[in-house]
Amino acid sequence: MNTLPDTISGALILSCIDFVLSFIFISFIGVILYFFPKMNRLGEIKEKKN
Amino acid sequence: MENLFFSLMTDLLNQTGLMSITIGNIIMIFVGAVLLYLGIVKKYEPFLLVGIGLACIVANVPGSELTKEGGLFYYAYQGVEKLILPPLIFLGVGAMTDFGPMIANPSLVILGAAAHLGIFVALIGAKLFGFTLAEACSIGIIGGADGPMAIYTTMKLAPHLLPQISVAAYSYMALMPLIQPPVMRLLTTKEERQIIMKQPRYVSRLEKIVFPVVIAVIVNLFLPPVAPLITMLMLGNLLRESLCVDRLAETASNALLNIVTLVLTVAIGSTMAAETFLTPNTLLIIGLGLVAFVFGTGSGVVCARIMCKLTHGQINPLIGSAGIASVPIAARVSHMVGQQENRRNFLIMHAMGPNLAGVFGTAISGGIMLALLAH
């Protein structure tokens, strides 16, 4: 397994990878949420508690 | 007879902690008193600061047995060290959180990533100050403003820094009403702060039930290092939204969360003994934590401001700072600053979207760090 160098450049590489991937993952969640209203066509669940 | 009396009194005195108290202990007792003052008098997150403050004071009284092996505070700390308490906190948080605002406005979830620039500024800063990369990551994650996640990441990457990092994370979370507003005002105009946002759409029960299941699957699939935390968060939320296990949801969100918070705050405070806490590294970590909070708040506001421009003024940039996580403290700060500009502006529900997304943002950042470093 490749390891990040324990140097400033390692910190910079890790920060860049992490920051970009955070945006990608969060955007992915956002895209999934964008389609959530569509599932309401499947039916509804009553709000009443048992 | 007189000699015997003085000899007995000296023996008694030696058995107290008075003879071994140090300047460091006195300083830390003062720190504990300040935390108590902020919690009780100033009402800055008293749920956190009261327990931390008292445990900090007790941990620095030399005669105290509570923090030594076999003492109650020692066992409280074991809950942190063995990573039992952070997932339980997330279970309770999930059971008391309505993710509706996040589901209702998917475009705002991006703020949950944008407000984490502070993590990386602090990470690089820590590396510049000579910390190892694993230590720097643990310090950086303070900027995620998520106590359980900071504890979890630190225990995996740099467990020896747990006292400093957990104290910095929880203290700054408690002090967010002081830290964030000046940054928010600096980066926004008065007109922008007065923007009233549109009411979010209605989110159905079906969506709210499907949400925790989908997120649990995604996180376990893509981010296994942080899956225990997010899975418990989603389990708590499913208990709440399913409406069929009210007693479990009620217990997780009230009794269990209160008990775990109590144990966690006492555990954190008990780690603040002068001999381990009063070091130059502690000051550096606390300083870098503040840098992380300031940059995270700033980057969130700047991103929200860009979104405001792109949507022709439909988004109030103040909600950007809520992307830093720390649910619901950061959302309350956005709301409070908005109210100071316009009494009719209720930003809390809008700010909750980015605020909840910030939890996932921190989890993603922490998960990537753990995936790349914890081996």
The residue extents of the domains of chain B are 73-373
Q: Give the residue-averaged pLDDT of B127-152.
A: 93
* pLDDT, position B160: 87
Structural domain count, chain A:
1
Query: Is residue A26 situated within a structural domain?
Result: yes
Per the CB < 8 A criterion, the answer to whether B118 and B297 are in contact is: yes
Select from A6, A14, A39 the Cβ nearest to the Cβ of B207.
Answer: A39
* pLDDT, position A48: 63
- The H or E element that residue B352 is part of is helix B348-373
* Non-local CB neighbours of B27 within 8 Å, separated by 6+ positions: B274, B278
Q: Which residues of A touch B209 (CB under 8 A)?
A: 45
Residue of B nearest to A17 (CA): B368
Residues in chain A whose beta carbon is closer than 8 A to a beta carbon of chain B? 1, 4, 6-8, 10-12, 14-15, 17-19, 21-23, 25-34, 36-37, 39-40, 42-50
Select from B128, B246, B364 the Cβ nearest to the Cβ of A26.
Answer: B364
Pure H helices in B160-277 = 162-174, 176-186, 190-193, 205-222, 227-242, 246-251, 257-270, 274-277
Select from B113, B210, B218 the Cβ nearest to the Cβ of A22.
Answer: B113
CA distance B358 to B109: 8
Flag if B211 and A11 touch (Cβ within 8 Å).
no
CA distance B115 to B361: 8
Residue of B nearest to A2 (CA): B372
Kindly report the average pLDDT of chain B as a whole number. Answer: 92
Flag if B133 and A4 touch (Cβ within 8 Å).
yes
Give me the DSSP letters along B288-335.
HHHHHHHHHHHHHHHHHHHHHHHTTS-S-GGGGGGGG-TTTHHHHHHH
In this predicted structure, the answer to whether residue B209 has a pLDDT above a threshold of 70 is yes
Flag if A36 and B103 touch (Cβ within 8 Å).
yes
CA distance B205 to chain A (A): 6
In this predicted structure, the answer to whether residue A20 has a pLDDT above a threshold of 80 is yes
CA distance A13 to chain B (A): 10
CA distance B374 to B213: 27
Flag if B109 and A30 touch (Cβ within 8 Å).
yes
Q: What residue has token string 């991006």?
A: B110
Query: Is residue A29 situated within a structural domain?
Result: yes
* Non-local CB neighbours of B222 within 8 Å, separated by 6+ positions: A25
* pLDDT, position A4: 87
Flag if B204 and A44 touch (Cβ within 8 Å).
yes
Q: What residue has token string 């990369």?
A: B133
Q: Which residues of A touch B117 (CB under 8 A)?
A: 19
Flag if B218 and A50 touch (Cβ within 8 Å).
no
- The ipTM value here is 0.89
0.95 surpassed by pTM: no
Q: Which residues of A touch B133 (CB under 8 A)?
A: 4, 6-7, 10-11, 14
Flag if A39 and B116 touch (Cβ within 8 Å).
no
CA distance B88 to B92: 6
* pLDDT, position B1: 67
Q: Which residues of B touch A32 (CB under 8 A)?
A: 214, 218
Q: Give the residue-averaged pLDDT of B235-253.
A: 96
Residue A22 DSSP one-character state: H
* pLDDT, position A49: 56
Q: Which domain holds residue A25?
A: 9-35
> What's the Cα-to-Cα distance from B293 to each of A25, B118, B172, B303, B319, rounded to whole Å?
22, 6, 8, 15, 15
CA distance B142 to B296: 10
* pLDDT, position B375: 66
Q: How many CB pairs under 8 A join A and B?
A: 119
Q: Which residue has the higher pLDDT, B361 or B167?
A: B361
Model pLDDT for residues B28-50, shown as the tens digit of each residue: 999 999 999 988 998 877 888 89
Q: Which residues of B touch A41 (CB under 8 A)?
A: none
Q: What six digits make up the tokens of B44? A: 């800055």
Select from B127, B360, B368 the Cβ nearest to the Cβ of A21.
Answer: B368
Interface-testing mutation among A16, A18, A24, with chain B (most B C-beta atoms within 10 A): A18
* pLDDT, position A2: 62
Query: Is residue A45 situated within a structural domain?
Result: no
